[in-house]
Amino acid sequence: MLYLLWMLLSGHTEPLLLWLGLASVTVTVLIANRMDVIDREGHPIHLSLKGLVYCPWLLWEIAKANVDVARVILRRDMPIEPAMLDIEGSQKSELGHVIYGNSITLTPGTVTVDLEGGKLQVHALTRLAADGLLSGEMDRRVALLEGLGAEEDK
């Protein structure tokens, strides 16, 4: 992927440079494979296509949460109701748990404080933010991103 990106951005089309670049990429991949540093979590390219669906949804959730938090802090009485929640993630891999925790933290009004063994401890600023997490929609979407949809759990 990086080789293709370099080709597109550099504009170099000389055969010698293209062959040297291809040889360099091939040797690097072979060495990394021999060192056993290539895995599905370190380089999650298998999530790329599903991420094209998940990212716009997450961006929309972030935008909605921004508006909700702004409404709360701009009100004179600041109706915050902070709460610590313990949430069980339905993801099967560490990568899925990390994506879920990071998605929660990216959403304004919520912060993942701890993640251990698939259990997340989350601080929510308002009752609305807590209810949004407890609805399980984000958990379900991250499980779909990870490839654990309802049809795959059967």
Q: Say which residues have a Cβ less than 8 Å from residue 98's Cβ, sequence separation at least 6.
A: 115
pTM for the whole structure: 0.72
pLDDT confidence of residue 154: 37
60: Cα within 13 Å, side-chain hemisphere: 6
* The dihedral formed by the CA atoms of 61, 147, 124 and 78, expressed in degrees to the nearest 10: 10
CB 88 within 8 Å of CB 129: no
Domain ranges of the chain: 2-34, 45-153
- Pairwise CA distance, residues 72 & 49, whole Å: 36
Task: Give average pLDDT by consecutive 10-residue segment, the chain, 154 residues.
Answer: 83 89 89 81 75 94 94 90 93 91 95 94 93 93 80 41
- Pairwise CA distance, residues 134 & 76, whole Å: 28
